Amino acid sequence: MPKSKTKEWKGTTGGSTLGQKSLLLLFHFVNVTVGYFFLALIVPFYMLFARKRYLSIYKYFRRHFCYPPLKAFFKTYSNHYIFGQCMLDRFAIYAGGKKNFRIKFTGNEEFYRLLDEEKGFIITSSHVGNFELSGYLLKQNKKRINALVFGGETKEVMENRSKILNMNNISIIPAFGDISHIFTINEALLSGEIVSMPCDRNFGSTKSVECDFLSGKANFPIGAFMLAAHFNVQVVSIFVMKESVSDYHIYVKPVSFDDSIEVSKQEKAELLTRKFVKELENIVRQYPEQWFNFYEFWKE
């Protein structure tokens, strides 16, 4: 992964605890689209004062989609605006507004097929779209899902997130930059449960694979795929993409390769990593404005 000194990400939901509580109270009484209106006015100031984050996305559009400067600027605004909408949508669901969203599924039969298997499996995610909503919308009682999340969130976000996820048979594994979460993950897979992990950023581990991604090269963590190889479990990617004010599209993509090929566990993990990156690239090309890694992601 990129060195933390030069390619830094914080991983937290913006805003103070008071502001987050205010959003919860607001969305108990009004539709989330009211927040969208104010968000449109706030985004330009955010872009101005969070200049490093703004520039990382602007360069992403210029270098990887070859947009001219003006188009890249407006796409950067759209990226920040959609990101803000995704955050507000989460708080709307925390406030009980789940019924306000319509969901379309592609490939979810693969998810339900794996639920009927004796073994557990791994769900890989990334910082595109609004993956967290899958935990609120894909309700099932067959297998416990253990979701690895960044442990530095505010108390307000963690409490609301845990409350809703627990109702959907999901427990949270907070990651704090060390490897303590690995023991919980191993136990879950040994018990035939599901583990959900983001696979575009490292959580404590430095093991990664250099992959071709869009028009450059970037390091992707291999940890989830090493676990899949070690425990011999299957892997799926889930992408939750915002398509309109009230519509989300959930894509479930199997991450696999021709298992008739004899390879070592290390080689299998690398092949799975590259397969995941290819699926991620396909989604990013389809929804370029929903790439939410606000730092210098690619290797120079």
> What's the pLDDT score for residue 41?
93
How many domains are there within the chain? 2
Measure the CA–CA gap between 198 and 187, rounded to whole angstroms: 18
- Among 5-9, 174-178, 190-194, 255-259, the least confident range: 5-9
Q: Is residue 298 part of a domain?
A: no
- pLDDT tens digits for range 36-82: 999 999 999 989 888 899 999 999 999 999 999 999 999 999 999 99
Q: Is residue 300 part of a domain?
A: no
Q: Is residue 273 part of a domain?
A: yes
- Among 124-133, 158-167, 228-237, 254-263, the least confident range: 158-167
> What's the pLDDT score for residue 6?
40
The whole-chain average pLDDT of the chain stands at: 85
Range of the domain at 76: 17-94
- β-sheet bridge partners, residue 101: none
Which one of 94, 122, 141 terminates a domain? 94
